[in-house]
Amino acid sequence: MTTSTTATTSATSSSTTPPASRGGASTDLGHKARGRAFKDQLARVVMWGAFLLALVPLVWILWTVGSKGYHLLLDAQWWGNSQRGITARREGGGAVHAIQGTLIQGLTTALISVPIGILTAIYLVEYGRGRLAKVVSFMVDILTGVPSIVAGLFIYALWVTTFKFQRVGFAVCLALVLLMIPVVVRSTEEMLKLVPNELREASYALGVPKWKTIMRVVLPTAFSGIVTGVLLGLARVMGETAPLLILGPYTKSIANDLFGGLMPTLPTMINQDRTESLQPAVDRMWAAALTLILLVLLLNIAGRVVSRFGSVKK
Amino acid sequence: MSSVTGVSLADETPGPHGSAPLSGDGAGTGRLGDRLFGGAAKGAGIFVIALVTLVGVFLLWQAIPAIANDKASFLTSREWSVNDSNNLRFGIVELLWTTVTASAIAMLIAVPVGVAVALFITQYAPTWLSRPAASLIDLLAAVPSIVFGIWGLRTFGPVFEPVQNFLRDHLGWIPLFSDANISGGSTILFVGIVLAIMVLPIVTALSREVFAQTPITHREGALALGATKWEMIRISVLPFGKPGVISAAMLGLGRALGETIAVTIILSTLPDGAKWTFSLLNGGETFASRIANNAAEFDTPQKAGAFIAAGLVLFILTFVVNAIARIVIDRRKAFSE
Amino acid sequence: MKIQRFGLLASVAVVGSLALTACGSDNNTGATAGGSSSGGSSSSDCPTGTLNAEGSSAQKNAIDEAISAFQDTCSGATINYNPTGSGAGIKQFLAGQVDFAGSDSALKTTEKDGKIEADEAAKFCGSPAWNLPMVTGPIAVSYNVKGVDKLVLTPEVIANIFNGKVTTWNDASIAKINSGVTLPSEPIKVFFRSDESGTTENFTKYLNAAAPSAWTAEPAKAWTGKGEGKEKSAGVAGAVKSTEGGITYAEWSYAKDNQLGIAQIDNGAGAVELNGETVGKAIATAKADGEGNDLRLKLDYATKEAGAYPINLVTYEIVCSKGKDAAKSKLTKAFLKSFASKETQASLEEIGYAPLPDEVRTKVAAAIDALS
Burial class (CB in 10 A: 0-12, 13-18, 19+), B143: buried
pLDDT in tens, C300-309: 888 888 888 9
Query: Count of residues for chain C?
Result: 372
CA distance A253 to A251: 6
Closest CA to B149 of B159, B137, B157: B157
Confidence band, pLDDT 50/70/90 cuts, at residue A226: confident
How distant is the Cα of A138 from the closest Cα of chain C, in angstroms?
Answer: 28
Which ranges constitute the DSSP H helices of A74-129? 76-80, 96-122
C18 CB contacts (<8 Å, ≥6 apart)?
A: none
Cross-chain Cβ contact C224/B272 below 8 Å = yes
Q: Decide if A292 touches B, using CB distance below 8 A.
A: yes
Burial class (CB in 10 A: 0-12, 13-18, 19+), A136: buried
C85 chain-B contacts, CB cut-off 8 A: 296-297
C24-57: burial string, b at 16+ Cβ within 10 Å, e else: bebebbeeebeeeebbeeeeeebbebbbbbbbbb
CA distance B45 to A135: 9
CA distance A34 to A31: 5
CA A222 to chain centre: 19
Q: Where are the beta strands (DSSP E) in B22-101?
A: 80-81, 89-90
Place domain A77-310 in its CATH homologous superfamily.
MetI-like (1.10.3720.10)
Secondary structure letter of residue C275 according to DSSP: S
Q: Is the pLDDT of residue C40 over 60?
A: no
Query: Count of residues for chain B?
Result: 337
CB nearest A277 (choices: C1, C17, C258): C258
Of C291 and A213, the structure prediction assigns the larger pLDDT to A213
Cross-chain Cβ contact B24/A129 below 8 Å = yes
Cross-chain Cβ contact B137/A157 below 8 Å = no
How distant is the Cα of C170 from the closest Cα of chain A, in angstroms?
Answer: 30
pLDDT in tens, B113-167: 999 999 999 999 998 998 889 888 888 888 899 999 999 998 999 899 888 888 8
Cross-chain Cβ contact A262/C80 below 8 Å = yes
Cross-chain Cβ contact B183/C243 below 8 Å = yes
Tell whether the torsion through CA atoms of B238, B239, B243 and B249 is positive or negative.
Answer: positive
Provide the chain B residues 72-111 that lie in CB contact (below 8 A) with chain A: none
For residues A125-135, average pLDDT: 84
Residue pair C257/C237 in contact by the 8 Å Cβ criterion: yes
pTM equals: 0.85
Confidence band, pLDDT 50/70/90 cuts, at residue C360: confident
Q: Cα A267–A269–A271 angle (5° rounding)?
A: 70
Q: Which helix (H) or strand (E) holds B214?
A: none
CA distance C196 to C215: 19
Q: Decide if C80 touches A, using CB distance below 8 A.
A: yes
Q: Decide if B85 touches C, using CB distance below 8 A.
A: yes
Cross-chain Cβ contact B135/A304 below 8 Å = yes
Q: Which helix (H) or strand (E) holds B218?
A: helix B216-224
Subunits in contact with chain B (3 or more CB pairs closer than 8 Å): A, C
Q: Where are the beta strands (DSSP E) in chain A?
A: none
How distant is the Cα of B271 from the closest Cα of chain A, in angstroms?
Answer: 21
Question: Which region, left, alpha or beta, applies to residue A255 given φ > 0 means left and ψ of -120 to 50 means alpha?
Answer: beta
B294 chain-C contacts, CB cut-off 8 A: 195-196
A274 chain-C contacts, CB cut-off 8 A: 234
How distant is the Cα of C186 from the closest Cα of chain B, in angstroms?
Answer: 12
How distant is the Cα of B58 from the closest Cα of chain A, in angstroms?
Answer: 7
Which ranges constitute the DSSP H helices of chain C? 4-22, 30-36, 60-73, 86-94, 117-125, 155-162, 172-177, 198-210, 232-242, 252-257, 276-284, 326-340, 342-347, 358-370
Q: Decide if B274 touches C, using CB distance below 8 A.
A: yes
Residue C369, number of CB atoms within 10 A of its CB: 12
Going along chain C from its start, the domains and CATH numbers come out as 22-137+317-369 (3.40.190.10), 139-280 (3.40.190.10)
Of B311 and C11, the structure prediction assigns the larger pLDDT to B311
CA gyration radius, chain A: 26
Question: Which region, left, alpha or beta, applies to residue C299 given φ > 0 means left and ψ of -120 to 50 means alpha?
Answer: beta
CA distance B161 to B152: 12
Q: Is the pLDDT of residue A310 over 60?
A: no
Subunits in contact with chain A (3 or more CB pairs closer than 8 Å): B, C
Closest CA to B249 of B103, B125, B135: B103
Whether ipTM exceeds 0.95:
no
Of B11 and A4, the structure prediction assigns the larger pLDDT to B11
Secondary structure letter of residue B234 according to DSSP: I
Secondary structure letter of residue C29 according to DSSP: S
Provide the chain B residues 233-252 that lie in CB contact (below 8 A) with chain A: 233
For residues A131-142, average pLDDT: 87
Average model confidence (pLDDT) for chain B? 83
Q: Is the pLDDT of residue C43 over 80?
A: no
Going along chain B from its start, the domains and CATH numbers come out as 91-336 (1.10.3720.10)
Q: Is the pLDDT of residue A27 over 80?
A: no
Of C344 and C372, the structure prediction assigns the larger pLDDT to C344
What are the boundaries of each domain within chain A? 19-55, 77-310
CB nearest A54 (choices: B113, B156, B292): B113
B26 chain-A contacts, CB cut-off 8 A: 129
Cross-chain Cβ contact B268/C228 below 8 Å = yes
Amino acid occupying residue A16: T
Confidence band, pLDDT 50/70/90 cuts, at residue A233: confident
A181 CB contacts (<8 Å, ≥6 apart)?
A: A113, A116, A117, A120, A140, A143, B48, B51
Side-chain-side CA neighbours of residue C64 (13 Å): 26
Which ranges constitute the DSSP H helices of C145-289? 155-162, 172-177, 198-210, 232-242, 252-257, 276-284
Q: Is the pLDDT of residue B184 over 80?
A: no
Q: Decide if B178 touches C, using CB distance below 8 A.
A: no
Burial class (CB in 10 A: 0-12, 13-18, 19+), A120: buried
Provide the chain B residues 138-177 that lie in CB contact (below 8 A) with chain C: 158
CA distance B122 to C261: 56
CA distance A171 to A164: 12
Q: What SS3 class is residue B186? A: coil
How distant is the Cα of C149 from the closest Cα of chain A, in angstroms?
Answer: 21
B264 chain-C contacts, CB cut-off 8 A: 231
pLDDT in tens, B265-308: 999 988 877 778 888 888 889 999 988 888 777 767 778 888 88
Confidence band, pLDDT 50/70/90 cuts, at residue A67: very high
Q: Is the pLDDT of residue A14 over 50?
A: no
CA distance C243 to C143: 9
For residues C302-317, average pLDDT: 87
Q: Indicate the pairing of strand C152-153 with strand C261-262.
A: unpaired
Q: How many CB pairs under 8 A join B and C?
A: 72
Contacts of A32-41 spanning 24+ positions with Cβ under 8 A: A36/B228, A36/B231, A37/B228, A39/B228, A39/B230, A39/B231, A40/B228, A40/B229, A40/B230, A40/B231
Residue pair B215/B129 in contact by the 8 Å Cβ criterion: no
How distant is the Cα of A226 from the closest Cα of chain C, in angstroms?
Answer: 10
Q: Is the pLDDT of residue A260 over 50?
A: yes
Burial class (CB in 10 A: 0-12, 13-18, 19+), A159: buried
Closest CA to B201 of A122, A232, C222, C192: A232
Q: Decide if A231 touches B, using CB distance below 8 A.
A: no
Q: Decide if B119 touches A, using CB distance below 8 A.
A: yes
Q: How many CB pairs under 8 A join A and C?
A: 120
Closest CA to C202 of C54, C301, C118, C313: C313
A86 chain-C contacts, CB cut-off 8 A: 28, 68
Provide the chain A residues 234-263 that lie in CB contact (below 8 A) with chain B: 235, 238-242, 245-246
Of C19 and A92, the structure prediction assigns the larger pLDDT to A92
Q: What SS3 class is residue A164? A: coil
Cross-chain Cβ contact B124/A289 below 8 Å = no
Q: Decide if A32 touches B, using CB distance below 8 A.
A: no
Closest CA to C199 of C298, C91, C76, C57: C57
pLDDT at C37: 37
CA distance C118 to C128: 8
Of A96-105, A221-230, B37-46, C157-166, where does mean pLDDT reach its minimum? A221-230
CA distance A13 to B223: 10
Q: Is the pLDDT of residue C338 over 60?
A: yes
CA distance C144 to C244: 6
Q: Decide if A297 touches B, using CB distance below 8 A.
A: yes
Closest CA to C186 of C195, C174, C197, C203: C174
CB nearest A5 (choices: B126, B146, B322): B126
Cross-chain Cβ contact C24/A254 below 8 Å = yes
How distant is the Cα of B284 from the closest Cα of chain C, in angstroms?
Answer: 9
A160 chain-C contacts, CB cut-off 8 A: 95, 97
C187 chain-B contacts, CB cut-off 8 A: 181
Q: Indicate the pairing of strand C115-116 with strand B80-81.
A: unpaired
Residue B199, number of CB atoms within 10 A of its CB: 27
pLDDT in tens, C182-228: 899 988 999 999 888 888 989 999 999 999 999 988 888 888 888 88
Burial class (CB in 10 A: 0-12, 13-18, 19+), B104: middle
For residues A300-304, average pLDDT: 81
Percent composition of chain C: helix, strand, coil (DSSP 3-state, to 5): 40, 20, 40
- Measured CA to CA in angstroms, residue C223 lies from A185, C10, C248 at distances of 44, 50, 12
Residue pair C269/C305 in contact by the 8 Å Cβ criterion: yes
